Structure 1
Amino acid sequence: MGSDNLEETLGQALRLLESAVHHHRRSVLASASAELPVDGEAVAGWVARLVLRAERDVIWSLPEVTGEDHARLVGQTLAQLAGKGVRTRMLCPPAVIRGGTWQRSVGTVARLEVRVFEGVRQELVVVDGAAVIAPDASPGEPGGSRASMIQNSTVADMLHQLLCGMWDTAQRPMRPLSFEGGARGRVLREVLTLMAEGYKDDAAARKLGLSVRTYRRYVADIMRDLQVESRFQAGVRAVRAGLMESDPE
């Protein structure tokens, strides 16, 4: 099975399990769950306290950071886990790790392992492979401002295996120096866009107001930074890594 098919299959499996957690946490899983009926930042704080019980391993899927306070809390939690020697793996969509809030807080944590996966839509944390912390992803629904700790061994093992499978197929974040932002970063994204649209070098250079020689130098820089051998591969990898999005705030 190719990596694209594997990623799609894992994404579908995750959505099914997310649905099961959301719809059955108060019935099938009720006897194996502890719920906290709080809202807003209190949920994030409660999740952080549970995550800090970890002794060996945490794998955390995080679809978004909702603001500076949330990012700071996540960053502090991860730093404390690192201080305890707990291995911590984060799965996030590419846009999350490129955001300014992430870079200022979570991005400064030492020894944090991060991979990007577009299919992350539900926050789930598996602690030591035995407990799952599942904040409710639908705060607008009745009882939506909740978080559950699921200790059912079958469910925890299933979600742990799934997140580990996603981890194995997810990509390491690619943030080469030349894509960090500023005028050069904007030009490189424009070059990537024209490459993806199939522009010939001379036409692309005219469109950007560059000489053909300068345009080709940008193309060579992109292919070197992304470690690819063809322009098509460069386009695919850049899209997956979120490098063609606008500069982070």
Structure 2
Amino acid sequence: MPASGVAADNLESALGQALSLLETAVHHHRRSTLACVTADLPVGGETVAGWVARLVLRAERAVIWSLPEVASEEHGNLIAQTVSQLAGKGVGTRMLCPPPVIRGPLWARTLGTLGPEVEVRVSGAVRQELVVVDGAAVIAPDATPGEPGGSRASMIQNSTVADMTYQLLSGMWDTAQRPTRPLSFEGGARGRVLQEVLTLMAEGYKDDAAARKLGLSVRTYRRYVADIMRDLQVESRFQAGVRAVRAGLMETGSP
């Protein structure tokens, strides 16, 4: 492995160890005056995931979210709705996940339906769900098997703990990898349509012929083409073909 790769792995490992220590501190702070869980505790049968979503929606500037798993379709849909509402307010969301999470069917059916509303990077060091809101508050759900989002959660508004958590997650973000394949192509009906559009683009179909073949209007087909170029971060259809081959989205090497 190149020296740069070894250094990145070592840094991720160090950040993971530091995060483990922070998780222990969060656990202890749950029982201290630093854990500010007051009138916002789940009420009326609300799940912890729902309670977390309400708190996250208070964000005004930015959210960074470490998500070790999508526990259920309900859990994934709730997070996706939260991220979408944040985007509507102009609040950016960065999400850190272990590699298997973004390749799983639950992700594809829930968060995988989102577009640029959420930035995603993968890191094997993510083991606990933590959300830092505006760099000022940490929301820490418990991971409890069988309960979406856990059975309880804490919101820590101590500035020192919030800043430490933010710095650690930001450090993990800087060393984490971008998904090798655009997430919009992963699973679900939208992913299948994008694959079909990309294939017809590569085969040289004109827009009107491709649209007829897929049973779409030309306008809708061109919107999918624009989405593909955006997701692949290219400026031309030729570049889209080249990038798609490199990303493993197409079997053929001919754009």
Partner of 2:180: 174
- In the alignment, which residue of structure 2 is the partner of 1:110? 115
Q: Which residue is 1:75 aligned to? A: 80
Corresponding letter in the other structure for 2:178: R
Which segment is superposed worse, 97-106 or 9-18?
97-106
What amino acid does structure 2 have at the position aligned with 1:45?
A: G
Partner of 1:135: 141
Query: How far has the Cα of 1:105 moved from its partner?
Result: 1.3
C-alpha RMSD of matched pairs (Å): 2.9
Distance 1:41 1:139 in 2: 17
Matched, 1:24 2:29: yes
Taking a change above 3 Å as real, the CA distance of residues 23 and 40 of structure 1, as seen in their structure-2 partners, is farther
1:151 aligns with one of 136, 150, 157? 157
Partner of 1:58: 63
Which stretches in structure 1 are left out of the alignment for 5+ residues? 182-220, 227-249
User: Cα 1:7–1:41, aligned 2, differ >3 Å: closer, same or farther?
Assistant: farther
What displacement does 1:161 show? 0.5
Percent identical: 74
- TM-score normalized by structure 2? 0.64
Matched, 1:121 2:127: yes
TM-fit CA distance, 1:20: 1.2
Q: Distance in 1 between matches of 2:43 and 2:31?
A: 15
Structure 1 Cα separation of the partners of residues 186 and 156 of structure 2: 39
Q: How far 1:110 moved relative to its partner?
A: 2.4
- Over 3 Å counting, the alpha-carbon distance change for 1:180 and 1:103 in structure 2 is closer
**TM-score w.r.t. length of structure 1:** 0.66
Distance (Å, rounded) in 2 between the aligned partners of 1:120 and 1:176: 20
Conserved 8 A contact 1:43-1:147: yes
Deviations along 1:6-42, whole A, 9 cap, x unmatched? 0100000001101111133112524x45473679961
Q: Secondary structure at the match of 1:2?
A: helix
Aligned amino acid, residue 79 of structure 2: V
Deviation by residue 1:122-148 (Cα, 9 ceiling, x = unmatched): 1000000001110123579xxx72111
Which residue among 102, 105, 127 is the counterpart of 1:100? 105
| Alignment partners' CA distance in 2, 1:46 and 1:176 | 30
After TM superposition, the runs of 4+ consecutive aligned structure 1 residues lying more than 6 A away are: 37-41
Shift of 1:180: 5.9
2:47 is paired with a residue of what secondary structure? helix
Name the amino acid aligned to 1:72. Answer: N
**Matched residue, 1:160:** 166
The one-letter code sitting in structure 2 at the alignment partner of 1:135 is P
* CA distance, structure 2, for counterparts of residue 44 and residue 33 of structure 1: 15
Mind listing any 5+ residue stretches in structure 2 that lack a counterpart? 1-5, 188-242, 249-255
Question: Which residue of 3, 9, 19 corresponds with 1:4?
Answer: 9
CA drift at 1:100? 1.2
Aligned length, in residue pairs: 182
Judged with a 3 Å threshold, the aligned counterparts in structure 2 of structure 1 residues 24 and 139 are, in CA distance, closer, same or farther, namely: farther
Contact kept, 8 Å, 1:39 with 1:146, in 2: the verdict is no
What's the secondary structure of 1:53's corresponding residue? coil
